[in-house]
């Protein structure tokens, strides 16, 4: 099967706080990424959300030692939508203005 991803995925845990944007009550969860690309992330979670759920994501970089992620700090308040879920987590596609430019260049 041919790889269909436009950008390379990088596998490492990165703390992220997500807030579900729903018409109901506010739900905020502290989680961790399993992988990250310029256009989205897969987040490990047992919490389920409906497909298409919108999120606000705040990433935390533990240090500047993660090569190629200099602009992740600017992703506080980033928005995106859940595009897929599995029993282990969910994939979130970033809105265009939140994409990580430094990962596109790698």
* Residue-wise DSSP of 46-86: S----TT-EEEEEE--S-TTSTT-TTGGGGTTEEEEEEEEE
pLDDT for the residue 101: 61
The answer to whether residues 101 and 71 touch, using CB atoms and an 8 Å cutoff, is yes
Can you give the residue range of the structural domain that contains 81?
A: 10-99
Number of domains in the chain: 1
Look at residue 106 and tell me if it is in a domain: no
41 contacts 35 by C-beta, under 8 angstroms: yes
Q: Which residues of the chain have pLDDT under 50?
A: 1, 65
* pLDDT in the model for residue 18: 94
CATH classification of the domain holding 80: 2.40.10.220
Assigned domain for 4 exists: no
């Amino acid at each position: 099967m041919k790889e269909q991803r436009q950008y390379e995925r990088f596998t490492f845990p990165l703390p992220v706080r997500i807030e579900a944007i729903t018409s109901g009550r506010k739900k905020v969860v502290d989680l961790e990424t399993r992988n990250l690309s310029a256009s989205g992330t897969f987040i490990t979670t047992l919490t389920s959300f409906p497909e298409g759920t919108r999120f606000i994501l705040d990433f935390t970089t533990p240090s500047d030692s993660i090569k190629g992620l200099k602009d992740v700090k600017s992703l506080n308040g980033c928005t995106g939508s859940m595009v897929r879920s599995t029993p282990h987590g969910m994939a979130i596609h970033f809105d265009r203005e939140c994409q990580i430019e430094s990962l596109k260049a790698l």
